[in-house]
Structure 1
Amino acid sequence: MTHPFRKPRLRPLVQGLCLSLLLTSLTPAQAQLRNPDAPSVVPRIPGARQLSTDLKLPGKPTTADYIVAVVDQEPITHIDVDKRVARIQETAPAGSRLPPPDELRRQVLDALIDEKVQISHARSVGLSVSDAEVDAAIENIASQNKLSLREMQRRMEADGLDYPRYRASLREQIVLQRLRDREVNARIQISDSDIDAFLATDPAAQTEVALNLAHILIPVPEQATPAQIEALQTKARQVQEQARSGGNFNQLVRTHSADTNTKERGGAFGMMPISRLPDLFVSAARDLQVGEVAPLVRSNAGFHIVKLIERENSAEATYTQQRSRHILLRSNPKESTQAQVARLAEIRKEIVSEGASFAQMARQHSQDGSAANGGDLGWASPGQFVPEFERALMALQAGEISQPIVSRFGVHLIQLIERREVKLTDAQKREAARSVLRERRFESTYEDWARELRAAAWVEMRDAP
Structure 2
Amino acid sequence: MNKHLFPVRVRWLGWAWLCVVAAWLPLGAHAQGPAPSPDASAPGAVRSADFIVAVVNSEPITNQEVQSLALRLARQAQAQGRTLDAPEAKRLALAELINEKAQIQQARDTGIVIDEEAVNQAEAGVASNNQLTREALRQRLQQDGVSVSSFRAQLRNQLLLNRVREREVEARIRISEAEISAFLQAQIKAQAASAQADLNLAMILIAVPENSTAEQIKPLEDLAREVARRASSGEDFAALARLFSQAVDRGANGGVMGLRPADRYPELFVQVAAGLPVGGVSEVFRSGAGFHVLKLLERQQAPTSLLVAQTRARHILLRPSPQLGQAQALAQLAALRQDIVAGKVDFADAAKRLSQDGSAAQGGDLGWASPGMFVPEFEAAMNRLRPGQVAEPLVSRFGVHLIEVTDRRNAPMSDAEQRELARKVLRERKLDEAYLAWAEEVRGRAYVELREPAQ
* TM interval, short-chain normalised: 0.5 to 0.7
Unaligned runs of 5+ in 2: 1-5, 35-42, 193-301
Counterpart-to-counterpart distance in 2, 1:142 and 1:187: 33
Please name the residue that 2:190 is paired with. 207
Mapping of 1:183-222 within 5 angstroms? 183-200=168-185, 206-207=189-190
Kindly state the Cα deviation for residue 65 of structure 1 after the two structures are TM-superposed: 2.4
Q: The residue matched to 2:392 in structure 1 has which SS?
A: coil
Q: The residue matched to 1:207 in structure 2 has which SS?
A: helix
Kindly state the Cα deviation for residue 112 of structure 1 after the two structures are TM-superposed: 0.8
Is 2:315 the counterpart of 1:326?
Answer: yes
Mapping of 1:52-63 within 5 angstroms? 52=22, 55-56=27-28, 60-63=45-48
Is 2:49 the counterpart of 1:77?
Answer: no
Q: TM-score, normalised by structure 2?
A: 0.60
Kindly state the Cα deviation for residue 116 of structure 1 after the two structures are TM-superposed: 1.0
Please name the residue that 2:110 is paired with. 125
Please name the residue that 1:450 is paired with. 439
Please name the residue that 1:422 is paired with. 411
Q: 1:124 to 1:424 in 2, by over 3 A?
A: same
Post-superposition CA distance 1:279-334 (Å, at most 9, x none): xxxxxxxxxxxxxxxxxxxxxxxxxxxxxxxxxx9944322222222221113344
Mapping of 1:42-121 within 5 angstroms? 43-48=8-13, 50=18, 51-52=21-22, 55-56=27-28, 60-92=45-77, 94-96=80-82, 98=84, 101-102=86-87, 104-121=89-106
Contact 2:46–2:64 (CA under 8 A) maintained in structure 1:
no
Q: 1:198 to 1:417 in 2, by over 3 A?
A: closer
Q: Residue type of the partner of 1:207?
A: A
Q: Residue type of the partner of 1:88?
A: L
Post-superposition CA distance 1:132-157 (Å, at most 9, x none): 34333333433333444444434333
Contact 2:316–2:356 (CA under 8 A) maintained in structure 1:
yes
Post-superposition CA distance 1:372-409 (Å, at most 9, x none): 44333222111211222223323444444333222222
Q: 1:356 to 1:89 in 2, by over 3 A?
A: closer
Counterpart-to-counterpart distance in 2, 1:44 and 1:357: 31
Contact 2:55–2:448 (CA under 8 A) maintained in structure 1:
yes
Contact 2:307–2:412 (CA under 8 A) maintained in structure 1:
yes
Q: TM-score, normalised by structure 1?
A: 0.59
Kindly state the Cα deviation for residue 422 of structure 1 after the two structures are TM-superposed: 0.2
Counterpart-to-counterpart distance in 2, 1:194 and 1:409: 36
* Cα root mean square deviation, aligned: 3.4
Q: Residue type of the partner of 1:456?
A: R
Counterpart-to-counterpart distance in 2, 1:347 and 1:102: 50
Post-superposition CA distance 1:85-113 (Å, at most 9, x none): 22212211535464x75555344322211
Q: Residue type of the partner of 1:368?
A: D
1:139 to 124, 142, 147: 124
Counterpart-to-counterpart distance in 2, 1:395 and 1:89: 27
Mapping of 1:289-300 within 5 angstroms? none
Q: Residue type of the partner of 1:138?
A: E
Please name the residue that 2:397 is paired with. 408
Q: 1:350 to 1:82 in 2, by over 3 A?
A: closer
Counterpart-to-counterpart distance in 1, 2:66 and 2:447: 19
Counterpart-to-counterpart distance in 2, 1:95 and 1:354: 40
132-141 or 70-79, which moves further after superposition?
Answer: 132-141
Is 2:437 the counterpart of 1:437?
Answer: no
Is 2:148 the counterpart of 1:163?
Answer: yes
Mapping of 1:11-26 within 5 angstroms? none
Kindly state the Cα deviation for residue 345 of structure 1 after the two structures are TM-superposed: 3.4
Please name the residue that 1:31 is paired with. none
Unaligned runs of 5+ in 1: 1-40, 210-312
Q: Residue type of the partner of 2:28?
A: K
Kindly state the Cα deviation for residue 356 of structure 1 after the two structures are TM-superposed: 4.6
2:366 to 359, 370, 377: 377
**Identity in percent:** 43
Counterpart-to-counterpart distance in 2, 1:355 and 1:67: 60
Q: The residue matched to 2:153 in structure 1 has which SS?
A: helix
Q: Residue type of the partner of 1:331?
A: P
Kindly state the Cα deviation for residue 184 of structure 1 after the two structures are TM-superposed: 0.9
Counterpart-to-counterpart distance in 2, 1:110 and 1:349: 47
Counterpart-to-counterpart distance in 2, 1:97 and 1:139: 32
Counterpart-to-counterpart distance in 2, 1:387 and 1:408: 10
**Count of matched residue positions in the alignment of Structure 1 and Structure 2:** 319
Q: 1:167 to 1:344 in 2, by over 3 A?
A: same
Kindly state the Cα deviation for residue 347 of structure 1 after the two structures are TM-superposed: 3.9
Counterpart-to-counterpart distance in 1, 2:323 and 2:388: 32
Indicate the structure with greater helix content.
2
